[in-house]
Amino acid sequence: SYDLTQPPSVSVSPGQTASLACSGDKLGDRYVSWYQQKPGQSPVLVIYEDTKRPSGIPERFSGSNSGNTATLTISGTQTLDEADYYCQAWDTTTVVFGGGTKVTVL
Amino acid sequence: QVTLKESGPALVTPTQTLTLTCTLSGFSLRTTGMRVTWIRQPPGKALEWLGIIDWDGDAVYGASLKTRVTISKDTSENQVLLRVTNVDPGDTATYFCARVRPGRDYFDIWGQGKLVTVSS
């Protein structure tokens, strides 16, 4: 089976840049999506097809994917960006989620 | 407006079958290319993919619950059903349904989720 690995937590100061990694074998050959989930809420799509932002998602969210690692970057991080973030990819016909990264803004 | 809403029992007894309904609004699973997926999240844990169904009624399941999960659709009611047999406390989770963006492979709209507790 295919696995996606994310660090459990990342801390960032307000206004700084947070980089969230998602690693998997030859992940760069697949599209990666990223979802933000705040406590008690449903996940929200923030990046799809590696680099694209849905309408309504702030420009400070960006994505990249190459080699074995996809990265979600939050530039100028705000306190409201504090949440869990999950990467997701497809393994042929099945879906894989990473274990999630908790972003703390302090 | 596109929405999905999960419904079903909040409490299920161990060994019983859990059945949840995802009611679709603003789009139809009769539309070619449309897909809906189920995902669950145990309290304090990560998202776990359960399976997916397409407009044609074909379903694919995740490996973890493959032998206990069935996803089906009720086209007339514009609903997608999830059945998990022989549940145990480990199946306690919030269950989400989500739409797969038509023609793409990402989940653009999620339901609010339904917390199901398995306990005697």
Give the per-residue pLDDT at B66.
83
pLDDT tens track for B64-101: 888 999 999 998 889 999 999 999 999 999 999 999 99
* Range in A50-54, A58-62, B28-32 the model is least confident about: B28-32
Give the per-residue pLDDT at B53.
97
Check A48 against B104: CB less than 8 A apart.
Answer: yes
Query: How long a stretch of residues is chain A?
Result: 106
Nearest to B106 among A42, A45, A100 (CB): A45
Output the DSSP codes for B20-87: EEEEEESS-TTSTT-EEEEEEE-TTS--EEEEEEETTS-EEE-STTTTTEEEEEEGGGTEEEEEE-S-
Give the per-residue pLDDT at B75.
85
**For range A32-48, the mean pLDDT:** 98
Q: What angle do CA A24, A15, A59 make, to 5 degrees?
A: 60
Distance CA A52, CA B43 (A): 30
Chain B residues in contact with A39 (beta carbon < 8 A) = none
**For range A86-105, the mean pLDDT:** 97
Query: Which tokens go with B36?
Result: 């809906």
What is the count of residue pairs from A and B with beta carbons less than 8 Å apart? 55
**For range A21-37, the mean pLDDT:** 98
**For range B26-44, the mean pLDDT:** 96
